[in-house]
Amino acid sequence: MKSALSALGAGLLFGAGLLVSGMANPAKVIGFLDLGGHWDPSLALVMASAIAVSWLGVRFAARRTECPVEEGPANTGITRQLLGGSVLFGIGWGITGFCPGPAVAALGLGFWPAAIVVLGMVAGLWVGKPKTGAAAGPATATG
Amino acid sequence: MTIAWAEFTPWHSLAGGLLIGLAASVLLLANGKIAGISGILGNILQRSGAEPWRLAFVAGLLLSPLVLLPVLSQLQPSALVTPQFSIADLLRLLAGGFLVGLGTRMANGCTSGHGVCGLARLSPRSLAAVLTFMLAGFVTVFLWRESFGLPL
């Protein structure tokens, strides 16, 4: 119960961050991806700020032992699957302006195109699911 | 390339990023989990992975607009001004969403899992993923704009 409450709080904070930064608006994201055109650097600052704060969280968590991080990357190598998957993700991101977090937050905003993206996304996640059924133990997907 | 100064929102971006970083830290410190949205969604799809913390996190993400709605027009008006899509965009949204789902599942992470959490953990794997999907995104938008005009 306590773990669900903190996770709910984290989800609310995460969504608030996406909304405040404007990242739940796909036009803003496309503005960032339009590097060769009229470039809006906002997304880079969102990432930088989020990474800096998370880095502090990671440092702090590393000093505590009572709550070890259970989930970590399943595979530490830079594989063809990692790069190929990232290319596919980048293409989908580029043609819609949505990545998974903003798609869910924009769905909560009642924005219908986000519902279509989430539908496609769920199908893609399903098709690409690990073949072993029981995933790969506790250390599976992180993103 | 020109910088879109009129659209650039540095303070909102920094503040939003701070909230996202706080969210990732809360999940890490209180739950020992990585705030990777594609991974959380993917695991929920498998019955065994639909744990309460994952469902609660997604519920929070979905409910955040509702909670913020009263102040959102002051905080970030552009969050509410969403671009116009038409029915003709349906296939593109569906196909794009599919690629996002399949790609992030193959790569074990997206903008949050690799981009925020992975880079914060100084993971070389995440850096490779982020550089790759950013480059793919830049190239896709460039090619799309050259062929059909900006996607949005």
Q: Distance from B61 to chain A by nearest Cα, in Å?
A: 5
B24 touches B100 (CB < 8 A): no
Q: Which of residues 8-67 of A touch B (CB under 8 A)?
A: 8-28, 30-31, 33-43, 45-58, 60-61, 64, 67
Judged by average pLDDT, the poorest of A11-20, A128-137, B24-33, B79-88 is: A128-137
A131: chain B residues, CB-CB within 8 Å: none
Answer whether B129 sits within 8 Å of A36, measured CB to CB: no
Q: What is the pLDDT of residue A74?
A: 56
Which residues, in sequence order, are CB contacts of B120 under 8 Å at separation 6+?
Answer: A51, A54, A55, A57, A58, B21, B24
Residue A141 has pLDDT above 50, yes or no: no
A59 touches B66 (CB < 8 A): no
Instruction: Residue B37: name the closest of A35, A81, A49, A102 by CA.
Output: A102
Phi, psi of A27 (to 5 degrees): -65, -35
Q: What per-residue string of b and e applies to A109-126 under the rule 16 or more CB within 10 Å gives b?
A: bebebbebbbbbbbbbbe
DSSP B39-84: HHHHHHHSGGG--HHHHHHHHHHHHHHHHHHHHHHHH-GGGT-PPP
Model confidence at B52, pLDDT cuts 50, 70, 90, reads very high
Q: What is the pLDDT of residue B139?
A: 98
Q: What is the pLDDT of residue A42?
A: 97
CA distances for B32 relative to A101, B13, B123, angstroms: 19, 26, 17
Q: What is the pLDDT of residue A69?
A: 56
B132: chain A residues, CB-CB within 8 Å: 82-83, 86-87, 90
Structure ipTM: 0.95
Assigned token pair, A13? 């904070």
**Please, what is the average pLDDT of chain B?**
93
Whether chain B has a CB inside 8 Å of the CB on A115: the answer is no
Higher pLDDT, A125 or A136: A125
Q: What does the pLDDT look like over A42-96, one tens digit per residue?
A: 999 999 999 999 999 999 988 875 555 555 555 568 999 999 999 999 999 999 9
Q: What is the pLDDT of residue A77?
A: 86
Q: Which residue has the tokens 């190929």?
A: A84
What is d(CA A88, CA A73) in angstroms, rounded to the nearest whole number?
19
Q: What is the pLDDT of residue A80?
A: 94
Higher pLDDT, B21 or A60: B21
Model confidence at B145, pLDDT cuts 50, 70, 90, reads very high
Which residues, in sequence order, are CB contacts of A100 under 8 Å at separation 6+?
Answer: A121, A143, B37, B38, B41, B100, B101, B104, B110, B111, B112
Judged by average pLDDT, the poorest of B42-46, B66-70, B116-120 is: B66-70
Whether the CA torsion A78, A53, A33, A93 is positive or negative: it is positive
Q: What does the pLDDT look like over A8-51, one tens digit per residue?
A: 999 999 999 999 999 999 999 999 999 999 999 999 999 999 99
Q: What is the pLDDT of residue B78?
A: 78
Assigned token pair, B101? 């789902």
Region B136-143: mean pLDDT is 97
Q: At what angle do helices A112-127 and A80-96 cross, to 10 degrees?
A: 160
**Please, what is the Cα angle at B126 between A125 and A130, to 5 degrees?**
30
Q: What per-residue string of b and e applies to B108-130 under the rule 16 or more CB within 10 Å gives b?
A: bbbbbbbbbbbbbbebebbebbb
Q: What is the pLDDT of residue A72?
A: 55
Answer whether B108 sits within 8 Å of A78, measured CB to CB: no
Report domain extents, chain A: 2-134
Model confidence at A138, pLDDT cuts 50, 70, 90, reads very low
Q: What is the pLDDT of residue A38?
A: 92
B109 touches A143 (CB < 8 A): yes
Model confidence at A133, pLDDT cuts 50, 70, 90, reads very low
